[in-house]
Amino acid sequence: MRRIGVLGGSFNPPHLGHLVISTWVLNEFQLDKILFVPSYIRPIGSEKVDVPFVHRAEMTRLAIKNEPRFELSLIEGERQKVTYSVELLEILHKKYKGAEFFFLIGSDCITEIERWKRWQDLWKLSEVIVFRRLNFDPIKLEKKVHRELKLSSAPIIELSSSVIRNRIKNRLPVKFMIPAQVENYIRKNNLYL
């Protein structure tokens, strides 16, 4: 049975935190691959995604191209509408029949999970793996969702796409925060200025 990780997000832009955590989880949970799924439209959250999907997808492709066990999924872009996590997993179950899915989520996002559409079904469709962020209390969260959480031992990486966007806008260096090929793409296409 194939073991497939699923990491969704705006990837606006993808950064080294995404790559380090994904590599860690890939090995820690002995996954065969991780699907990176850029969101077409974020269903929840205040982040305005003003960079078109096509750019975010291409930056994600560039960011992951050197790891053969990372794969870009364009499912949300093909649908061109809000795709909830539970819907994404249902689609993936049809596409990868017989696979076992591992839904990767940061502890900062899972604290809002009760706002998600059919959030309880995530555990029916996948193993939910939580990677830690600062000030995370796993016991408090387990009580909230009434489930034992699978916690990754991945290091806490406090790097965010919004910090990177602000640095680019203010013409500050982002070297070692994003892959060089992503930085080149951003500069070539005048993104975040």
pLDDT tens-digit series, residues 139-179? 777 877 888 789 999 999 989 999 999 999 999 999 999 99
pLDDT value, residue 134: 82
Tens-place pLDDT, residues 34-70 = 999 999 987 665 456 689 999 999 999 999 999 999 9
Q: Side chain identity at 105, as an amino acid letter?
A: I
pLDDT value, residue 145: 80
Q: Over 70: is that where the pLDDT of 29 sits?
A: yes
Pairing of strands 150-151, 33-38: unpaired
The values of phi and psi at residue 101, to 5°, are -105, 145
Give the other-Cβ count within 10 Å of 141's Cβ. Answer: 17
pLDDT value, residue 101: 98
> Could you confirm whether domain 3-160 is CATH 3.40.50.620?
yes
> Which H/E stretch holds residue 129?
strand 127-131
Q: Would you say the pTM of this structure is higher than 0.75?
A: yes
Per-residue buried b or exposed e for 58-87, using 16+ beta carbons within 10 Å of the residue's own CB: bbbbbbbeeeeebebbebbbeeeeebbbbb
With bands split at pLDDT 50, 70 and 90, how would you rate the model's confidence at 123? very high
Q: What is the mean pLDDT of residues 85-90?
A: 97
In this prediction, what percent of the chain has a pLDDT beyond 90? 77
